[in-house]
Amino acid sequence: MYLPHLFSPLKIGACQLAHRVVMAPLTRMRAARPSLAPRPLNADYYAQRATSGGLIIAEASPVMATGFGNPGVPGIWSEQQVEGWRKVVDAVHAKGGIIFLQLWHVGRVSHSSFQPGGALPVAPSAIAISSEFKAMTADGKVVPYETPRALETDEIFGIVAAFKQAATNALAAGFDGVEIHGANGYLIEQFLQSHSNQRTDRYGGSIENRARLLLEVTQAAIAIFGANRVGVRLSPYGIANGSGEADPMPLYTQVVSALDPLALAYLHLIEPRSSGAGRAEVNWQNVPSAMLLFRPVWTGVLIAAGGFSGEAAEAAVAQGHADAVAFGRIFISNPDLPRRLRHGFPLTPYNRATFYGGEDAGYTDYPVYDGLAPA
């Protein structure tokens, strides 16, 4: 397979990539319990997928104890978690890889069983996720989402401070940068979108107000890492976790336009055709392309993600629609994915049943291709 554009160098903020095949952030729920610190198994997993000069965006990691809603996801608020992540980062760096950490707060996409003291999850407004979506409790039951508690205005300052401390912790762990998770229906996107944000203070109402949290969190991360080591992930037209703006273009055009002058390392856009792909096989038809819509607005490095094949990724880069492409599910089952794409080797299919939780099965036991072509 000849993919010259996908396998050409790229400067991404302060980092020099050898190729443009990025590992997308992937929730796997295999952190140690109860500490939620990464463990040696996690270091092995990431090291398997590291390539010299390749970018890995490590899985979404809650910035505070109230910010998670899944069992076994690694955090980034405690010293024990920092120590666990340091071993992951060291393992990736030993392979010549580059690794960012995705900073996360799930907001209403949680359940009281995960919250300290059994409190309700927090959100911009006291609006529950619709009944077509279901929550998972800490003991594995599937139940309707609870109506969250609306954050008080002064509490939002604490959310921003938690993201800043998480960035500080990520720097201490040795990460090359951080990505702000503003996608997939989680807290920052809940603030962005009008159906989940009905606030009347400075964080609600106008698009400028609804985007305030994202911009404050991004600036907080910049204060720690510098703008050229911070990325932002968005999902225009996405429908994951009850998200969805009636008319996304005005919102996301203004948001991307506000981020553009910050000179970030990159903007990471999820294609609508793959919204919610972590939970089921989806490929939405007749939906717009995020990279095509927002490339004219964004002047920096653009990473596209969502259902790309090697050939489609090559075309996106060759045509200037994206500068790099992030791969998720097929990176799970193909630890040597860049090598396979470059040489046209066959891909190992993934097993969805082993995506979340467990040990090495479906995690570190996928084989590399045993062909004779060079790495």
Residue among 186, 203, 237, 366 flagged as catalytic: 186
Q: How many CB atoms lie within 10 A of CB 315?
A: 17
Active site residue 186: yes
DSSP state of 101: E
DSSP 120-188: PPEESSS-PPPTTSEEE-TTS-EEEPPPPEEPPHHHHHHHHHHHHHHHHHHHHTT-SEEEEE--TTSHH
Q: Is the dihedral of CA 340, 321, 299, 183 positive or negative?
A: negative
Residue of 95, 84, 94, 105 whose CA lies nearest to 161:
105
Cβ neighbours of residue 56 closer than 8 Å, sequence gap 6 or more: 22, 23, 46, 49, 50, 92, 97, 98, 99, 100
d(CA 341, CA 309): 9
Active site residues: 186
